[in-house]
Amino acid sequence: MISITPRNFIFLLIARMVLKNLKGYVLLRSNGHKEYQSKFGKIGFFLYDLMFNYITKKLKIISVSKNIIKKKNVKYLFPSELDNDWFKKIKKINNKIPRLLYFGRFRKEKGIYSLLTLAENFYLKFCLTMAGDTKIIPTKNDNIKILGKISNKKKIISLYDNHNMLILPSYTEGSPKVIIESLARMRPVIVFNEIKHVKSNFYGVYVCKRNVNSLEKTIKYIIKNYSKVQISMKKNDLYTKKKFQSNLLNILNE
């Protein structure tokens, strides 16, 4: 089961009535308690907690982060789509002006609207591209560009290459693939305090407060020290798709 949702919860209830010996796994990709509370308030937290407690009692747990759940017998697995193509022909880019990228779903819990508000109040010169969803977000700022969903690997790699840093403004995350994708293309990453745990041991990931002053200060630091930052990023040992598949098979074969 990929994530805990109302649909998956109902499916499991039905499956339990039909199958006597039900076995399986549930993959926890993010902190659902925080996501549901962000979207629906206390009622959302309660409803997710109900689904969470039932599903995690019936199925074995695989989590992408210890920040999501700390229980005995939990298996940890870190998703990755990185193959050899991600490490080829790293493109150099002009780092005089911040060319910022957000790549992901346009959802409230992903912090997309928070980032939009911050960007519209920037004092520095910048370009911001928001991509990864079919939803259209209106903005009157000429420095902000909204793109649709991108799924082709070459186009995604090109998207990273055409920017000099990634911003991940989410309020909750487990082990986001965009971080290792950006680092693979030698592009630094900025996250906010709420998900500072995703920095882990990575070089080139910077944590700041969710306000204009802190974000601008972090952006300016990266731009000013871009070459040094990229040199440090070469130390990263990034989790690859091959390793992800191998670890998944080991878990399922236990």
pLDDT digits (tens, 9 = 90+) for 99-116: 999 999 888 889 999 999
Q: What is the pLDDT of residue 22?
A: 82
Ordered by start, the domain boundaries in the chain are 6-76, 84-233
The C-alpha angle with vertex 212 and arms to 211 and 214, in degrees rounded to 5, equals: 70
User: pLDDT (tens digit, 9 = 90+) per residue, 2-57?
Assistant: 889 899 999 998 988 888 788 889 888 878 888 888 788 889 899 999 999 999 88
Q: What is the pLDDT of residue 28?
A: 87
Contact 53, 59 (CB under 8 A): no
Q: What is the pLDDT of residue 98?
A: 95
SS3 at position 171: coil
What CATH class does 84-233 carry? alpha beta
Q: What is the mean pLDDT of the chain?
A: 90
* DSSP one-letter code for 199: G
Place of tokens 């009157």: 140
Q: What is the pLDDT of residue 159?
A: 96
Contact 102, 112 (CB under 8 A): yes
